[in-house]
Amino acid sequence: MRKEIQARDVQNFINGKYVSTAETFDVLYPITGEVTAKVHKAGQAEVDAAVAAARAALKGPWGTMPLAERSKMVKAIADGVMKRFDDFLEVEVLDTGKPYSVASHVDIPRGGSNFAAFADILKEHATEAFSMDTPDGLGALNYGVRRPRGVIGVISPWNLPLLLMTWKVGPALACGNTVVVKPSEVTPSSAALLGEVMNEVGVPEGVYNVVNGFGDTGAMITSHPDVDGITFTGETVTGSIILKAVAPTLKASSMEMGGKNPGIVFEDADLDLAIKELGRSCFLNTGQVCLGTERVYVHESIFDEVRDRLKDYAENELKYGFPDDEGVNFGPVVSDEHRDKVLSYYKLAEEEGATVVTGGGAPKFGDERDGGSWVEPTIWTGLAQDSRTATEEIFGPAVALIPFSDEDEVIKLANDTKYGLAATFFTQDVSRVHRVAPQLEAGIIWVNCWFLRDLRTAFGGMKHSGIGREGGVHGLEFYTEISNVCVKM
């Protein structure tokens, strides 16, 4: 349903207060191209103020707060997000254009649970302890003491704005750090709204700060001498730039970057299950998921059937429309700039000899949606393994189907990439599950499912897909510093 849109004022959030600046920029509604927000751009003065506030909070009530009390407050943030569920849903949809059915079941619930989960994980994590022999026979005890790393710069992406921002802020705060967040310039609203929740539940001033802007604002954070660590999710090129920026100050870095994730359908797969899960992994969130599947290897004996059934899924299970229309589950991409990138790959695929099974362009509606950032869900066959379309990350609702003949071959094909974030495969052979999974070069591997996440498990990528691991106790290696205490008996 067409909704009347009034542009919101999105300010920076520094030391518990909203801060305006003279320079602003627009956020556009991906559904129609209308202006939905005027965003106040932070300069060096605002970044300096945010970092100073975060540094002061480390030495104030947040830094001295007992773990049990801090954990209780982090859980209160989770409750606060859920109490403001409708508000977060509204701004997330206006920024991203995604359907309510997606944001209400994925983005907002995970935004809250990211705080609740890490509040519990930190309380339940026991420190390491080792006894050792000494020459005098009396022995010694070694035990680890963890302390917050300090001020964490959080640079978060636009595809799942609240979810991926809180995926970093949640553990950072639970571990006792303070944060300076730089959300994407195209999706800043949920990060700003979270400041209201922080104030409502009594989080001390300076613990959570938000500065808006573009790459130059992010560079001010990454190069700031009083920032102790940088955590980033986004494309590999940007991640490489950040790593160069932090090198002179030797800041700790946690990087979750790009992917060109493979899916594999073996000849014995449950095809009803495989098509359902592949449909999600290729097209959920209009393909704008770092864990999504952009190349699917299908056993030659079932290739035609999988192609036809996935085509039917794309054409009949994905419903365009306004975000709150009943049954809508497919929206635009996030911006005109990203639409143009995706469409450039659609053109490239045909130049590289692809057969377009379905899609391949931009839909036409004959209404105001034609001003939005829409692309069609697209399936290709006939692409070479080494083609650009089959090797470069598109980050859109597009997938290349490639046949294979045997297990050894498909493992080599799946691993033939500079990326190593995720993989998914489908088989009913238990022996094959445990034989293939360890050979796939990916940080997370799903078998007969996709996007099933336990927040206690390790998350991150290999090769050009990232550095470090997030999730559960694994994130402690970044969000805390450990000291060993050796006590002679």
Active site residues: 256, 290
Distance of CA 148 to the CA centre of its chain: 23
Cross-strand bridge partners of residue 265: 298, 426
To the nearest 10 degrees (0 to 180), the angle between helices 44-59 and 215-222 is: 40
303 CB-side CA count, 13 A: 16
Cross-strand bridge partners of residue 293: 261
Contact 254/155 with Cβ under 8 angstroms? no
Measured CA to CA, the distance from residue 112 to residue 247 in angstroms comes to 33
CB within 8 A of 6, min separation 6: which ones? Answer: none
Q: Beta 24-28 vs 35-40: how paired, if at all?
A: antiparallel
Q: Which two tokens stand for residue 171?
A: 């553990």
**Nearest-5° angle of CA 52, CA 56, CA 58?**
120
Question: Alpha helix locations (H) across 85-188?
Answer: 85-96, 100-102, 108-124, 161-174
Diameter over CA atoms, the chain: 87
In angstroms, the Cα distances linking 312 to 121, 275, 327, 328, 470 are 42, 10, 17, 17, 36
- Residue burial 161-192, b: 16+ Cβ < 10 Å; e: rest: bbbbbbbbbbbbbbbbbbbbbbbbbbbbbbbb
Q: Tell me 105's DSSP state.
A: I
Cross-strand bridge partners of residue 356: 380
Contact 85/209 with Cβ under 8 angstroms? no
CB within 8 A of 78, min separation 6: which ones? Answer: 112, 113, 114, 115, 116, 119
Measured CA to CA, the distance from residue 460 to residue 471 in angstroms comes to 9
Measured CA to CA, the distance from residue 278 to residue 266 in angstroms comes to 13
